[in-house]
Amino acid sequence: MNWQAIKAIYVFEMSRTFRTLAQSIVSPVLSTVLYFVVFGAAIGGRIQSVEGISYGAFIVPGLIMLTLLQQSVTNASFGIYFPKFIGTIYELLSAPMSFIEIVIGYVGAAASKAIMIALIILATSTFFVDLQILHPVWMLGFLLLTAISFALLGFIIGIWAGSFEQLQLIPLLVITPLVFLGGSFYSISMLPEFWQGVTRLNPVLYLISGFRWAFFGVADVPVGLSIAAVSAFLVLCLGVIWLIFRTGWRIKP
């Protein structure tokens, strides 16, 4: 394993984040705080609690997961798309490093940035609500597993995208709606039975449910199923990336 190459990619990607601090960190944190204030104030005034948890605290895991998914996908997709756009990806492909090392460098940096922002949002939320985390180890585990899985998805999107507009297509039109419809701001037990069944087809539900269980010990679906779902998604993304480098799809002339 060429750790020096991995470190070079990782450090370069992380340094780009700190060069654009306002755009990379401050902006998503402020956006999430606005979500929290609006939903907490507008809806929280009408819904006092959900499953025995104050509504303000209940939506915290959903807001963190919303930002985590968006940032993981966006950072990873832009990270690999930009070298492809300016042509330096061929230098990466010809360097003495395997595709695994390339993936670890870019995905590791994207996941690190997303987790850093998620933890900042978690700390910020304590100023608004009284928050307790029943299973902090599981919370960090879900955070790490989800960030890596969706950073891998973002890596695939970055290779697939043919323009900067396409980079935003899936995060805006797929990821964000799935998060909003996946129980971020409500429990699916509040829905009619038919819509509960429909919501269970949403893969993001399993991520949010497992993450919320780590905070409050309540979940819409079994925790084991949540872990299995995100693990299966991670394996699927790894398989797709292996196939991309095996065939040279979208990265070789």
- Rounded Cα distance between 40 and 231, Å, is 32
238/230 Cα distance (integer angstroms): 12
pTM of the model: 0.91
147 vs 234: CA distance, rounded Å: 10
- DSSP of 239-250, one letter per residue? HHHHHHHHHTTT
Cα separation of 147 and 104, whole Å?
Answer: 13
The residues, any chain, with a CB within 8 Å of residue 198's CB and separated by 6 or more, are none
Q: Which amino acid is at 6?
A: I
Residue 80 has pLDDT above 90, yes or no: yes
pLDDT band at 89 (very low <50, low <70, confident <90, very high): confident
203-235 pLDDT tens trace: 899 999 999 999 999 888 899 999 998 999 999
| pLDDT given at position 190 | 83
CB 86 within 8 A of CB 253: no
* Tokens encoding 244: 């991309």
Give the model confidence (pLDDT) of 174-192 as tens digits: 888 888 888 888 888 888 8
Kindly state the DSSP code that residue 52 receives in the 8-state scheme.
T
**CA count, 13 A, side-chain hemisphere, 14:** 16
- DSSP annotation of 127: T
The tens digit of pLDDT for each residue in 117-154 reads 899 889 888 887 888 899 999 999 999 999 999 999 99
Query: Dihedral of the CA atoms 185, 187, 193, 199 (nearest 10)?
Result: 60
Amino acid at 182: G
The size of the chain, in residues, is 253
The structural domains of the chain, with segments of one domain joined by +, span 3-247
